[in-house]
Amino acid sequence: MTKIYINGKLFDQHEARVSVYDHGLLYGDGVFEGMRVYSGKVFRLKEHIDRLYESARHIWLEIPLSREQLMEDTIATVKANHKQDGYIRLVVTRGSGSLGLDPRKCSDPQIIIIVDDITMYPPELYENGLEIVTASTIRNHHNAVNPRVKSLNYLNNILAKIEAIRAGCLEAIMLNHNGEVAECTGDNIFLVKKGVLRTPPIDAGILDGITRNAVIELARAASIPVQEWTLTRHDVYAADECFLTGTAAEVIPVVKCDGRTIGTGKPGAITKQLRERFFQLARQ
């Protein structure tokens, strides 16, 4: 039975409850993190916790625990669930209040930790590569809900995900308000062109992905040049290789976009190398 952490206590999965008046449910008012456990260890826990507190700061949400305590509680919840490899969803809601947007009516933020499994894509796609499309739904403008905030309101991404599914794909590229490539609905995007690794900069309006940062570090350590560069759809179509990164997706090759074959139509050598190095890093 999965044990769910809520505000310092563990509950059986079927006993774990939040109020229907919680503004996390009513308005998507809250923040979250998705992390992975590899070989019993939480990958980049501190980075995830730091990003959670930054997201919370941005939305004026005070998390009633120190970062150190939340890290300890996260590790304890993984242990209570005897998970060696799995997925952690850490959610902080604004808490229950009255109807109406006013967050001052909410006094009990709910800190929830779920430790479970996640499978984003079927295993064969990691071998053969994914086909993606460009969504017509653009990424939120950075002066609306800034994409750097990992908020509980994911409708922007869900609308693009539905477009992908309706097009017979599992993932979609989201452009920013300038028509530049931003990211996918739940992953960051990388291209390889003439041996150079390119990914959109944070100011393209993207989530500052923790897997993205790990892959950039791994590439630099392997002497692969990396550029945070403005990318357009043309760059995707004309790339030698393409892959996506994310906590849930890990490193997954992309071989087709908007019906165009990318490179040879097979996962590329640099993609495969970085995927292997990523797992070495995660499991070390």
Q: Looking only at residues 125 through 164 of this chain, which bind ligand PXG when binding is defined by CB under 6 A?
A: 157
Is the CB of 145 or the CB of 248 nearer to ligand PXG?
248
Comparing every residue's Cβ against ligand PXG, the nearest one is 34
Q: What is the pattern of x (binds ligand PXG, CB under 6 A) and - over residues 80-119?
A: ----------------------------------------
**Minimum gap (Å) between residue 87 Cβ and ligand PXG:** 7
**Pairing between β-strand 188-193 and β-strand 196-199 as defined by DSSP bridges:** antiparallel
Q: What is the pattern of x (binds ligand PXG, CB under 6 A) and - over residues 168-207?
A: ---------------x--xxx------------------x
Most distant pair of Cα atoms in the chain: their distance: 57
Of the candidates 3, 83, 150, 161, the residue annotated as catalytic is 150
- Interaction of residue 236 with ligand PXG, rule CB under 6 A: no
Determine whether 266 is an active site residue: no
Options 23, 83, 94, 212; binder of ligand PXG; rule CB under 6 A: 212
Q: Of 208, 135, 137, 199, whose CA–CA distance to 172 is shortest?
A: 135
Torsion of CA 54, 202, 164, 115, to 10 degrees: -30
CA distance 20 to 207: 29
Contact 254/129 with Cβ under 8 angstroms? yes
CA distance 61 to 93: 9
Contact 88/113 with Cβ under 8 angstroms? yes
| Binding positions for ligand PXG, rule: CB under 6 A | 34, 157, 183, 186-188, 207, 209-212, 245-248
Residues involved in catalysis: 150
